[in-house]
Amino acid sequence: MTPAAETSKRVQAGPGPVDVLGLDRDALQAWVGTLGHKPFRARQLLRWLHQRGADSFAGMSDLARELREELEVRATIGAAPVLRREDSRDGTRKWLIDVGAGEAVETVYIPEPGRGTLCVSSQAGCAVHCAFCATGAQGFSRNLTSGQIAGQLWMANRELRAQGLGERPVTNVVLMGMGEPLQNYDALLPALRLMLDDDAYGLSRRRVTVSTAGMVPMIDRLARDCPVALAVSLHAPDDALRDRLVPLNRKYPLRELLAACRRYLEFAPRDFITIEYVLLAGVNDSPEQARAVLALLRTLSCKVNLIAFNPYPGSELRRPEPAVVKAFASVLQEGGLTVTTRRTRGDDIDAACGQLAGSVRDRTEVVLRRRDAVSAAEPAAEPAAESAAESAAESA
């Protein structure tokens, strides 16, 4: 489909009011055009919605009254409602967001000196079913809309700004919440474009990271359509093990995935790909496996982000001892790779990687069970290590 046809499909979609929060510049221009208004109205709307965080059309004072009235009837600002907020002892904040049909997703804000990273969800549940992931264990429920994806940034900026955390509290976005973003590409793309648009969120491409379990064809499409920073979840040095841990590998094996990473580098805003590797005790954390990872990655321009497994109830997998994590990191470092180890952030509110389950159903019970499990199982965070999303979201 041509970009123009794509835009008009999005604009025409659905009989009800249009959710303007999910329309990127081109789509918004096309839509205001269908109402008989000039393209610059789209720019005004973008600024009101995304820069100022407007939640109604009535206050958009520089729009003609007729346009405002038309907007009231034909459009909505469809940010998904917040069901609950939780604040971690370390400043991490988590929101539970209603995305319809009884499903909820989570958005996590991770403040760090000099930056604030928002970890955004793209789907309720996930169809990839990775063996170590709470979201995968839940199964796939539904795709978020563009408005629900961009709306997480809209909502977080509004709330954090209101708390006096600066004009633009979110400086980095990582698509590392619930879901596989490249399996919801059509909704992801306009949301990414809004994140980058100077009249919307104005983030640099280097500060927006898409994390994928390895959707090879969509990595190529992202390179063409909207090359932002890329993180790839590796988790195993060979196909036999990766087939088990990340079932998507059966479709797109390691050789194809690494070839896609190399192709992506030609378009990427950074000169490296982030490689994520969740360390699972006794499964993928041996020195031999570290050497195999090294051999695999030696010729790829990348930075490796090691994540010690975050346990969740129902999973039999275990987190390796800190010494094992350190030994694994040393093998890679001595082989010349840049390696960071994520410090667990927000684990007291289940906001750490892989702990985002998010369903409203049984939620209270899950949270209570998980709290017990986490406080029993979690060792203290390693002080010298890097924080969640930090390496992937390293600021420009």
Nearer to ligand SF4, 122 or 157 (CB): 122
Nearer to ligand SAH, 309 or 328 (CB): 309
**Contact partner, 394, from ligand SF4, ligand SAH, none, Cβ < 5-8 Å per class:** none
Q: Which stretch binds ligand SF4 (CB under 6 A): 29-37, 38-46, 131-139, 266-274?
A: 131-139
Annotated catalytic residue, options 126, 133, 353, 394: 353
The three-state DSSP-derived secondary structure of the chain is CCHHHHHHHHHHCCCCCEEHHHCCHHHHHHHHHHCCCCCHHHHHHHHHHHHCCCCCCCCCCCCCHHHHHHHHHHEECCCCCEEEEEECCCCCEEEEEEEECCEEEEEEEEEECCEEEEECCCEEECCCCCCCCHHHHHCEEEECCHHHHHHHHHHHHHHHHHCCCCCCCCCEEEECCCCCHHHCHHHHHHHHHHHHCCCCCCCCHHHEEEEECCCHHHHHHHHHHCCCEEEEECCCCCHHHHHHHCHHHHCCCHHHHHHHHHHHHCCCCCCCEEEEEEECCCCCCCHHHHHHHHHHHCCCCEEEEEEECCCCCCCCCCCCCHHHHHHHHHHHHHCCCEEEEEECCCHHHCCCCCCCCCCCCCHHHHHHHHHHHHHHHCCCCCCCCEECCCCCCCCC
Q: Which of 19, 103, 112, 180 binds ligand SAH (CB under 6 A)?
A: 180
Nearer to ligand SAH, 268 or 278 (CB): 278
Annotated catalytic residue, options 106, 112, 390, 394: 106
Considering the rule CB under 6 A, would residue 146 count as an interface residue with ligand SAH?
no
Q: Could you tell me which of 105, 234, 246 has the C-alpha nearest to residue 178?
A: 105
Task: Respond yes or no: is residue 126 known to be catalytic.
Answer: no
Q: Which of 49, 71, 77, 130 binds ligand SF4 (CB under 6 A)?
A: 130
Task: Respond yes or no: is residue 106 known to be catalytic.
Answer: yes
Considering the rule CB under 6 A, would residue 128 count as an interface residue with ligand SF4?
yes
**Number of residue whose CB is nearest ligand SF4:** 136
Q: Which stretch binds ligand SF4 (CB under 6 A): 53-61, 127-135, 279-287, 341-349?
A: 127-135
Nearer to ligand SF4, 133 or 226 (CB): 133
Considering the rule CB under 6 A, would residue 350 count as an interface residue with ligand SF4?
no
* Binding string, residues 143-182; x marks residues near ligand SF4 by CB under 6 A: ------------------------------------xx--
Considering the rule CB under 6 A, would residue 124 count as an interface residue with ligand SF4?
no
Considering the rule CB under 6 A, would residue 213 count as an interface residue with ligand SF4?
yes
Could you tell me if 32 and 42 are in contact, meaning their C-beta atoms sit under 8 angstroms apart?
yes
Q: Which of 31, 132, 154, 328 binds ligand SAH (CB under 6 A)?
A: 132
Considering the rule CB under 6 A, would residue 213 count as an interface residue with ligand SAH?
yes
Question: For residue 253, what are its two tokens?
Answer: 């094996």
CB of 344 to ligand SAH, least distance (A): 9
Q: Could you list the active site residues?
A: 106, 353
Residues that bind ligand SF4 (CB under 6 A): 126, 128-130, 133, 135-136, 179-180, 213, 233
Residues that bind ligand SAH (CB under 6 A): 132-133, 176, 180, 211-213, 233, 276, 278, 307, 309-310, 353-354
